Chains A and B, each alone.
Chain A
């Protein structure tokens, strides 16, 4: 990642992965990626990273924690099973 173009790409990557980059910038990035294996690896694995954390299971309060919360807030009478 020492070349000027690679550093430039890294700076613009956020807009690119968000789909917010202009068409001209997208074309510039695609052209660079076609000839730069390192940057291609960064973009590929960055997209994969984003995909992976979006599929993580969503933890939730346990029933016990929910009961303790209602008790703390003096709402026990309103706790539904």
Chain B
């Protein structure tokens, strides 16, 4: 049976209220939905709430699933909207996937020290990983959604565009800006580390 046929059968079983299909759907997608929510919100308890909301909403609204995208993309769309709603409640003016491109993220490089050739050990420390996790959490929200879906969850450009309801060009632009933003943010930490090696 092809992937499309398998998914079609799964949707039909979900529509029929088949609980084993619900459990199968949870097993297949809950981890991804959780990672997405956690990267978006930076809080385990809130991410868990988003996972619950996502599957409750999805199973309730499964009759409205329209086959324009895959089940995973549809679930990620529900989860992304739930996460963005939570962020909007925290900072009402800062979050919208529709904000103009020039708003919210300066990406012209100002950090020009080449830290890429630091010893590999320096990149593998828990401090370096913590710095990277913090940088991702600090990404402007409209860049973060694209970045998490595309780069951390591995959705294609088209799937990411469908999930967020934006164009593929928009996804490419935001992903590039997110990468530049993270580079700039990490450069502060790694440049300081490199200079401390020089002084030491």
Contact = CB atoms under 8 A, between A and B. Distances in A.
Contacts of A60: 31, 34-35
Contacts, number: 113
What size tier do the contact residues of chain B reach?
A: 35 or more
A35 interface: no
Interface in A1-35: 1, 10, 13-14, 17
Interface residues of A, number: 38
Query: 8 closest pairs, A vs B, by CB?
Result: A41-B114, A14-B176, A44-B116, A78-B23, A48-B116, A49-B183, A38-B112, A65-B48
Interface of A: 1, 10, 13-14, 17, 37-38, 40-42, 44-50, 52-54, 56-61, 65-66, 68-70, 72-75, 77-79
Contact of B123 (A52, A58, A72, A78): A52
Contacts of B108: 1, 10
B114 A45 contact: yes
Interface of B: 19-20, 22-23, 26, 30-31, 34-35, 38, 44, 48, 51-52, 55-56, 59, 108-117, 123, 128-129, 132-133, 136, 151-152, 172-173, 175-176, 179-180, 182-183, 186-187, 190
